[in-house]
Amino acid sequence: MFLLLFVLSGRASLVFSQSDNEIDSEINSLNVQIDLQKRQIDDLRKRQQEYQVQIKAKQQDQLNLNKQLEIIEDKLAQTALDVESTNLEIDKTGLEIRKLEIDSANLDKKIDERKQHVASLLRTLYQHDQLSSLEILLLNDSLAEFLNQVKYLESTNQKVIEGVELLKEDKVKLENNKLSLEQKTKEMLDLKTKLEERKNNLAYEQDNKAYILEETRSSEKQYQNLLLAAKREQQQAQAEISRAEQLIRQKMSEKEKNKLNSGNNTIAWPLTKNVITATFHDPDYPYRRLIGEHSGVDIRAKQGTTIKAAADGYVAKVKFDGNKNYAYIMLIHGDNLATVYGHVSAVYVLTDQYVKQGQMIGASGGLPGGIGSGSFSSGPHLHFEVRSNGLPVNPLNYLP
């Protein structure tokens, strides 16, 4: 029995050793690849930051066609690096997932082998527990053999304790691996979504460049005319929005005012929550020097995405001609709040109409040169404003 158990114990250790060597070799190879991916990602991020510095510097210069095209070229290069780095992140995460899967499979195998090993040791101890010390002495040919057997049983008991502790450690590691694997899988899905966004950004920048070249025909004079048109367009829109809110509130009957104030005035997202490409008073807003402070937030949305009313209220203003001029919808709500939805490519409501929160009011636009986009647009998105007492305020302070 002693010899059999010794052989059993030795064989289990040998299996662990061989398995560990194979696993370690593969995991070391994966670690090398992961480190390489990390270095490449870091290098790409440094290059992206360099382009960002160049873009900011050029945005401070005089607005002219060549400078605008240079900015777009820098943005294209930066976004291309964004796509490349996200691809590398996906590859790196895939390698990390593979490493966790290998380690988990190895732990599963070890746990199974340790269970069998501990069970074997327990069977040995149990069989000896059935015999008295006198019986064990009689079964052995000499006192020396008896003492060896007693010493072996004590050693076996210690091995059982150690085996159980190792089993516990392996199970904890396996549970941690499962949690890490779930997290890495989620990261992978997020990165794939991010990759699509970055590819869309690249397409938007390319569309923007094509639009500017087509509109200006590489003429500086045409470009300056485009800038002036965009500035007039925005100034006119701001004036109309302020005037429309004042007029409709003045015209409202007491009954309408009560209906407005008793409605749901909590501001909700006007479309599915998405990437914000420009914030309120964004210092990096590309047209800040042209039209002034950015009066809302730009929410990335595909051309034609359904826009919903952010709160209950009345339609105060609809500006939509079905051409590429800047188009928008304005709603007024209770608590002296109003919302504006800019770059719309379709409108589903009429002035003075009462709408409920979540009701479809139009479709988003923003595609350079597209319906409702205006003279300048950075790509498909919804420009969303919240106004309090007639003045633009940060929508993020109201959105959930």
What integer pLDDT is reported at residue 25 of this predicted model?
85
Q: In this structure, what token pair is assigned to residue 272?
A: 């599915």
Check residue 298 and give left, alpha or beta (phi > 0: left; psi -120 to 50: alpha). beta
Positions in the chain whose pLDDT score sits under 50: 1-18, 130-131, 133-141, 143, 146-147
What was the pLDDT predicted at 75?
86
- Position 15 scores a pLDDT of 39
Q: Let me know: does 315 contact 344? Beta carbons within 8 Å.
A: no
The bridge status of strand 381-388 relative to strand 337-342 is: antiparallel
In degrees rounded to 5, what are phi and psi of residue 124?
-65, -45
Instruction: Indicate the pTM of the whole model.
Output: 0.68
- pLDDT of the residue at 125: 62
* Element containing residue 361 per DSSP (H, E): strand 360-364
Contacts of 355 (CB under 8 A, 6+ apart): 309, 312, 313, 314, 315, 331, 349, 361
Residue holding tokens 């490349």? 84
**Partners of 268 in beta bridges:** none
Q: Which of 353, 339, 337 is nearest to 382 (CA)?
A: 339
**Burial tier of 354 (Cβ tally within 10 Å: 0-12, 13-18, 19+):** middle
Contact between 395 and 385 (Cβ < 8 Å): yes
Predicted confidence at residue 152, as pLDDT, reads: 56
What is the rounded CA–CA span in Å between residue 5 and residue 149? 12
Best CA proximity match to 245, nearest among 138, 331, 125: 331
